[in-house]
A and B are shown apart, each in its own frame.
Chain A
Amino acid sequence: MSAHPLDKYLVTKRLPHIWCPGCGIGVALAAILRAIDRRVREGALKPENLVMVTGIGCTARAAIYVSFDSAHTIHGRAIPFASGAKLANPKLEVMVLGGDGDIAGIGGNHLLHAARRNMDLTVFMITNMVYAMTGGQVAPTTPTGMYTTTTPKGNPETPVNVIKLVAYQGANYVARASTTHPALIERYTYRALGMEGFRFIEIISPCPEIFGRHIGFRDPVELYEEIKKKSKYKPKPSLEESDLDWERGWVLGEFIERNEPGYLKRIGRV
């Protein structure tokens, strides 16, 4: 019997995973795994050197499903855990996957400092615009005016622009993709895995169950279409075009690409 092409990277006995029908997290994980597989098949990466570190949240559950080494740590602390793993064993290819709450909310401080150090990590932030696992509360990335379970009159806050934040700290690579464009996730991951220093990929992802339903989208396909419509690909966009706005939409693309020495090089570990 044949098997799904990604089965070798998955703990298949744990499938079906816990993510809701139509949730973007699985689409993002699949695209990331395809990029990893390309690097492995080219001989650039060894499966035994792969590490995926996550914190807490729906997204963070990914650590449970990958067949290579992984750690499901505590909320917001995936980046320091991952930095420790990389510093202890520079051979490892260390990736962090987290929700926007996990990475930019409770973990925002760690994100800032890992980017400033140009720490040799690839961080994926799944932006579903809410704290999904805990019931759809407002997140630091929730666009202004959005209805969430804790902003019944619309979000009065200005969201943090994580693309700019990470770019201004000196990260080597900063890109935004969307699960409505899986080929972009794959391409950006593939590129990031060939670089050193801090690499940050934001992935816009529909949460049909908690986010979508709350704002009136009745099924996953409807929310998918809405997010696809709002996601506009642009080659070489500027940081000025990186805002997330529900009405105007957002730009997908590679905002920053630098080749500055990563942290390990700076401390003489490579």
Chain B
Amino acid sequence: MSALYQRSATQIAAAVNAREVSAVEVLGAHMARIERVEPSIGAFLSLTADLAREQARRVDEAVAAGKRLPLAGVPVAVKDNMCLQGTVTTAGSKILAGWVAPYTATAVARLLEAGCLPVGKANLDEFAMGSSCENSALGVTRNPWDTDRVPGGSSGGSVAAVAAGEAALATASDTGGSIREPAAFCGVVGMKPTYGRISRYGLIAFASSLDQIGPIARTVEDAAAMYGVMAGHDPMDATSLPRPVEPTLPALRTDLRGLRVGLVREFDTKDLGEEIDAAYRRAYAQLAALGAEIVDVALPHAEYGLATYYLIAPAEASSNLARFDGVRYGLRVDGANVQEMYGKTRAAGFGPEVKRRILIGTYALSSGYYDAYYVRAQKARTLTAGDFERAFAACDLIACPAASSPAFEFGAKSDDPVSMYLMDYYTIPMSLAGLPALSVPCGFVRDGSPGGRELPLGLQLVAPLYEEARLFAAAHAYEQATRYTLDRQPPVVESVR
């Protein structure tokens, strides 16, 4: 059997429940792994070893008492925009540096109840705004497949931790692609459920009508198991879906017979370069080989997705981030009066990307521009949702890229916000429509430089609202048939300096 840190969550839970290994041992192996690779990866903003140890002891006691826990002893990295009582929770921002959460997010609490061990708080783009993790004000996270490259974002720390074996699972959040794009960049599975499926209570808000928590794992089965634990109605979140969660694990399949998979006309991959184009064609062919019927679908308003998103998300963010005002918690920079204090505190506490989005969002909501920008964007959102409704009349799943490129080098897109925003071109429409979508590794491309490394690509699968089970079933079949990352570890260990 492989080293403990290489095992899947499902394997770990089975072993802990069977008392073949203790949660304390599992934790020890992962803490050792963290110690070894963290200097070159930087997935975490803080480690929560004491909490994890305490939790591991509780899990072992529960198991000894005859209890079986679905994620017994599974180390999990918690994205640092989720509250975990007693831990520093920063959202990657200086404005919250050192803030200790006095309560725990619902999704995280459910993971703890299921036996997970919270090993640390994972890095992210500040307030989850970004596609590379470079917008974190508190740390640099590197891609385990090539440490000169970004891990993707905003859930960069989460995907890096899982890819590098620092945790078997990680929580992540997706507003316009923040789970799917980094999952693709780091060769892991990342899934964004239907909006409202997993409670947002305790998730530091970026854009409330788009934010959704989801699982990061190295296998589809693990992601499905983790999703199953986190999903379900929460009375603390008024947008939480009251419908039952269909079991995902029993639905996992090894073929795609009877499924119609739609390829989106507007998402032609030819412009992404020959090698990438070929990789996606191979992926689609593989879906067909597994028995899927490939059909052609259209998302005529996809081209407006980015514009729609970059009005709605910043507008909501500008309001959500108002509370960081230096009065009740977080950073304060004093001024002669309260107004000055606000202006200075927020100037010092927020990074450039957050400021840009607060400004554009404030503008989109301001008097005289509200109808022209915000309301128009909400109408465009209706058109996007309608596109998917029509597309799903002709297919059961949609397949497309999870990102327009593999992981890029640090600084490659820092000067031009819009070119960075374009990274989310393939993920934003699903967010606008609230659909469940997932990224699963679909091969590697060479980065082109001499001695360059191979970089993972992600295939995005999209299902109609509430059809998460179908999504996992299909992704599992594809993953088991291709095994791109199941038998291959990122070369991170070699890069330890």
A and B: interacting chains: no
A residues at B contact (CB < 8 Å) = none
